[in-house]
């Protein structure tokens, strides 16, 4: 439980910092990553196996989009 909370807190701080300090591309990607992460949590509320797999795929997608946003933040885009 503490690990999940700390991971959530880190993600929120990282995404907020990209949104505040990033350029247009980084900001848009960070906002998209936030929405994908929210969809992942919403889908995870269902207890079926399909929903569980979909939630994991959405979480991985959010992770990839966040890395793209971080790359664009470092590049200054």
User: What pLDDT does residue 45 have?
Assistant: 80
Neighbours of 35 (CB within 10 A): 13
User: What pLDDT does residue 58 have?
Assistant: 86
User: What pLDDT does residue 2 have?
Assistant: 56
Nearest to 11 by CA among 35, 28, 29, 34: 34
The answer, yes or no, to whether residue 72 has pLDDT greater than 80, is yes
For residue 21, give the H/E element and its range.
helix 2-21
User: What pLDDT does residue 1 have?
Assistant: 45
Domain count, the chain: 1
Task: Provide mean pLDDT across the span 30-54.
Answer: 83
Task: Give the Cα separation of 34 and 17 in Å (integer).
Answer: 12
SS3 state at 70: helix
């Amino acid at each position: 439980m503490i690990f999940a909370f700390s991971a959530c807190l880190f993600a929120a701080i990282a995404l907020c910092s990209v949104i505040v300090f990033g350029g247009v591309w980084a900001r848009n990607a960070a906002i998209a990553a936030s929405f994908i992460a929210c969809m992942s949590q919403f889908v995870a509320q269902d207890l079926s196996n399909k929903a569980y797999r979909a939630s994991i795929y959405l979480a991985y997608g959010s992770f990839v989009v966040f890395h793209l946003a971080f790359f664009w933040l470092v590049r200054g885009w």
